[in-house]
Structure 1
């Protein structure tokens, strides 16, 4: 029976030190794929008005050739950096991908665009959809698919009859946190219930667990892949190539190829104890999903401090760059319901730690 090997990787910026080929150490591995997916976390443009953000990600349009040479077949562009250089940067990015015949999902030139793509290899046809979180305003002339449950389910229903399996790319989650939220888990399950087979997550800049659910598979976060980890304030340079094997009946197997990102922002195959440690870590964080240990209270206890520190650092950078407006935004943010739940989670976690220390619990 025919089979198809999909390889998927996380965030890509195409920026390296000394303009090295960003994929030079993984080219041989990529050569074993039938399809290669990645999240393009950058704008391919040298012009356009920069957004007032703590981090703006941009690369030369010429760097798109690295994606072609590495064998990428499809890229997600629905993410929180696709408008970093405004409408001009957006158009340059999509034009560059079109010129090099690289498929993409999650955004388009037309407001009503479904932003899907279909690719057939070895007699197996996959349909791809891409979506992103973000409160940014989308210009009237274009479309960027936002994560809205009803819309995603509707899109899945619309395309699942036109392909063998539906792959959904989700730019979601909380940055630098190793666990998806209960709401993310619930949404992922619903999408598979309605016809998705594989969900590929990204945005947190760190790896998260992998879960089998019914006939589907969920990788909650593929982490950074080709990225300056300092930009994301990431505590790790661990990454993976996620390999999923399909046949006509569905997913037959998956495996993880451990990766580390070197000081030049280039991914390299992990070996020895580093490889073993990374595989054990993924197994550990995935077990929490399998055992259904991620509750709302537990999650806010685990992520509260990391979330608050990361966002405060981001606001400080913006305040230093742009002045008083980000300061007011920060003051409002401190009072949001999400932040309040983080404060409660931190208090609850510290209280438990104190009580355990004195053998009260």
Structure 2
């Protein structure tokens, strides 16, 4: 299993040859940036840092619920493994760090562990699709990481690790499952925590049992406070809420505020399979649900979704803004479409719903929201 620690993780120094720069996360390496975004000649560390700062903020991109069955499998069988996400590869590779919520085991080992309506297991070959998008971390704190039991979980983490992809939110014990993933480089440091509030009792880890990390409010508060002393940013992923319900529950709002009060810079929600409100709270962002990413359901309640990009100022080392990219998710309407950015006219309905949902939580959030001609949204978190 991939080992993580709350202590700062030592990173290798950047090579003076830019083409060989690799920033190591807890369990795997970061894929290189697209060549067009890099200087053409070897440069020093200081020159690289100066160059990188001129390129704009450090971008951390989150994608929602992902598995490889239903319509996704149909598209892959007809058009190839990478087809369902091809239009978004460039968007992903423009980010500095990329994560998604992996709601499936990816293993040839194990067997269905519990009797439940939906059990997801995907062929390990699909990890190539994650690599195609440059995914660096798979979020496993959800209600499907244990669908094939401890053996399936361990095999999934091993497959991801072999592909250079870290995992967070599940492990061989509570201590491992609840440990943060800490990323450090010469530009920024940040920690990712992943927890689930959804699932059968036996799927949650204990000191002596493998599983996903459950939320323990007092423990999480202490973790965040401790991490905030060691890293620039603390980001929490939460699997929570009610499927297809547009409003977060009162206990979710209370928990999210508790985490921000403890020092979290962003709280990113998953599980409802549709987008929910955004909330600016004390200079941090709470996304109660970013919806699906690669899910393939033709359920009539499925809707379009979003990619959420955290943009961090490299001078102040603060989360400065949030960029929202609406993406296609209505498979029942266009069953042959891959996941793609919505065009500007298609985003009108998305933003009307988002404004109503967010206004009910925070008028400040709606006042800060700006949507450009492409239909992309932006929320500035710091006063200019």
| TM superposition score normalised by structure 2 | 0.71
Distance in 2, Cα, partners of 1:264 & 1:151: 45
The separation in 1 between residues aligned to 2:256 and 2:267, in whole angstroms, is 7
Give 2:265's aligned residue.
197
Secondary structure of the equivalent of 1:24?
A: helix
Aligned to 1:307: none
Shift in alpha-carbon separation, 1:172–1:188, aligned structure 2, 3 A: same
Equivalence for 1:135: 200
CA contact (8 A) 1:215 1:250 kept: no
In the alignment, structure 1 residue 269 sits paired with structure 2 residue 338 = no
Q: Aligned pair 1:287/2:353, yes or no?
A: no
Q: Are the counterparts in 1 of residues 150 and 211 from structure 2 also a CA contact under 8 Å?
A: no
- Paired residues of 1:167 and 1:199 also in contact (CA < 8 A): yes
Q: Which residue does 2:307 correspond to in 1?
A: 241
Q: What is the match of residue 93 of structure 2?
A: 31
- Asked if the contact 2:224–2:262 (Cα under 8 Å) also holds between the matched residues in 1, the reply is yes
Classify 1:165/1:272 alpha carbon distance in 2 versus 1 (closer, same or farther; 3 Å). Answer: closer
After superposition, what is the alpha-carbon deviation per residue over 1:287-315, rounded to whole angstroms, capped at 9, x for unaligned? 111159xxxxxxxxxxxxxxxxxxxxxxx
Distance 1:222 1:78 in 2: 15
SS of 1:94's equivalent in the other structure is helix
The answer to whether the 8 Å contact 1:108/1:143 transfers is yes
Aligned-partner Cα distance in 2 for 1:283–1:75: 29
Q: Which residue of 2 aligns with 1:328?
A: none
Contact 1:112 1:143 in 2 (8 A): no
Alignment CA distance shift 1:146-1:264 (3 Å): farther
**Contact 1:243/1:254 (CA < 8 Å) preserved in 2?**
yes
- TM-score, with normalisation over the residues of structure 1? 0.76
Change over 3 Å in CA distance of 1:53–1:97 after alignment to 2: same
Shift of 1:152: 1.2
Question: What's the CA shift for 1:182?
Answer: 1.3
Are the counterparts in 1 of residues 233 and 319 from structure 2 also a CA contact under 8 Å? no
Cα distance in 2 between the residues matched to 1:58 and 1:234: 23
CA distance, structure 2, for counterparts of residue 209 and residue 70 of structure 1:
26
CA contact (8 A) 1:257 1:269 kept: yes
- Unmatched runs of 5 consecutive residues or more in structure 1: 293-361
CA distance in 1, matches of 2:144, 2:336: 21
Corresponding residue SS for 2:340 = strand
Contact 1:228 1:265 in 2 (8 A): no
User: What root-mean-square deviation, in Å, do the aligned CA atoms of Structure 1 and Structure 2 show?
Assistant: 2.0
Partners of 1:227 and 1:266 within 8 A in 2: no
From 159, 163, 187, give the equivalent of 1:123: 187
Per-residue displacement from partner, 1:8-50 (whole Å, max 9, x unpaired)? 1110103321423232121011121111121001111233221
Verify: 1:66 aligned to 2:138, yes or no.
Answer: no
Secondary structure of 1:43's counterpart equals coil
Alignment match, 2:147? 84
Q: Deviations over 1:156-191 (max 9, x none)?
A: 123222210100000000110111011111110110
Deviations 1:192-238 (A, max 9, x none): 000110111000001001110002110000111100224xx461330
The structure richer in helix per residue is 1
CA shift in 2, pair 1:266/1:212, >3 Å? same
What is the alpha-carbon distance in structure 2 between the residues aligned to residue 151 and residue 25 of structure 1? 40
CA contact (8 A) 1:226 1:265 kept: no
Name the counterpart of 2:104.
Answer: 42
Match of 1:235, SS state, is coil
Q: Determine the C-alpha separation between the residues in 2 that align with 1:234 and 1:209.
A: 20
Q: Which residue of 2 aligns with 1:227?
A: 295
| Pair 84,123 (structure 1): closer, same or farther in 2 beyond 3 Å | same
Tell me how far apart the structure 1 counterparts of residues 283 and 163 of structure 2 sit (CA, whole Å).
35
Count matched residues: 290
Query: For residues 284 and 111 of structure 1, what CA distance do their matches in structure 2 show?
Result: 39
